[in-house]
């Protein structure tokens, strides 16, 4: 797996954050390329973290923060738990589809706009949500790097 460096850019705040978020999204999807279902389900830790779980978790996080909390859509937009029938192809497909739905909000919403739903937490704005997704995705892309290297020795971002 070839190492892909993060994009360097001179751009406005939103474009920079979205560009880095997309880099990490692509990176975690690259980590599952070429795996069979058993490899995708393999977990080296007691918590059960696997590559398939990481992608599902990131899909849930984007739906929760962007569509439900930020845009105020119905809670039903947040995906259910993984089921045994879910394949890596279906999980990746749902993640990519979520990027597209997230883009309709993140590319146009004023970064100072407050989230529509707080669920009793402190209020946050679109800037915080976008930055949090970048941080969350980067963190889990790092986890995916480690799991994949432990699984078969593949390295690279």
Give residue 9's pLDDT band: very low, low, confident or very high (50, 70, 90).
confident
Per the CB < 8 A criterion, the answer to whether 148 and 49 are in contact is no
Evaluate if residue 5 carries a pLDDT over 80.
no
Give residue 143's pLDDT band: very low, low, confident or very high (50, 70, 90).
very high
Strand partners, 125: 114
Q: Tokens representing 23?
A: 């880099």
C-alpha–C-alpha distance, residues 39 and 124, integer Å: 38
Which helix (H) or strand (E) segment holds residue 89: the answer is helix 88-106
Angle, vertex CA 40, rays to CA 104 and CA 86, nearest 5: 60
Show me where the domains of the chain are located: 48-152
CATH architecture for segment(s) 48-152: Up-down Bundle (1.20)
Per the CB < 8 A criterion, the answer to whether 9 and 15 are in contact is yes
Residue-by-residue DSSP string for 92-155: HHHHHHHHHHHHHHHTTS-TTPBPS--TTSPP-BHHHHHHHHHHHHHHHHHHHHHHHHHHH---
93-138 pLDDT, tens per residue?
Answer: 999 999 999 999 999 999 999 999 988 899 999 999 999 999 999 9
70-99 pLDDT, tens per residue?
Answer: 999 999 989 889 989 999 999 999 999 999
18-43 pLDDT, tens per residue?
Answer: 999 999 999 999 999 999 999 999 99
Evaluate if residue 6 carries a pLDDT over 70.
yes
pLDDT of residue 157: 65
């Amino acid at each position: 797996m070839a190492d892909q460096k993060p994009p360097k850019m001179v751009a406005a705040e939103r474009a920079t954050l979205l560009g880095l978020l997309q880099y990490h999204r692509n990176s975690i999807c690259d980590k599952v390329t070429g795996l069979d279902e058993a490899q995708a389900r393999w977990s080296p830790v007691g918590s059960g973290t696997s590559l398939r779980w990481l992608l599902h978790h990131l899909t849930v996080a984007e739906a929760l923060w962007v569509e439900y909390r930020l845009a105020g859509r119905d809670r039903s937009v947040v995906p259910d738990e993984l089921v045994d029938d879910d394949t890596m192809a279906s999980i990746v497909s749902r993640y990519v589809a979520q990027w597209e739905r997230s883009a309709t909000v993140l590319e146009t919403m004023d970064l100072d706009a407050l989230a529509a739903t707080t669920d009793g937490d402190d209020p946050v704005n679109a800037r915080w949500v976008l930055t949090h997704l970048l941080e969350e995705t980067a963190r889990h892309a790092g986890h995916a790097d480690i799991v994949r290297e432990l699984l078969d020795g593949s390295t690279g971002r």
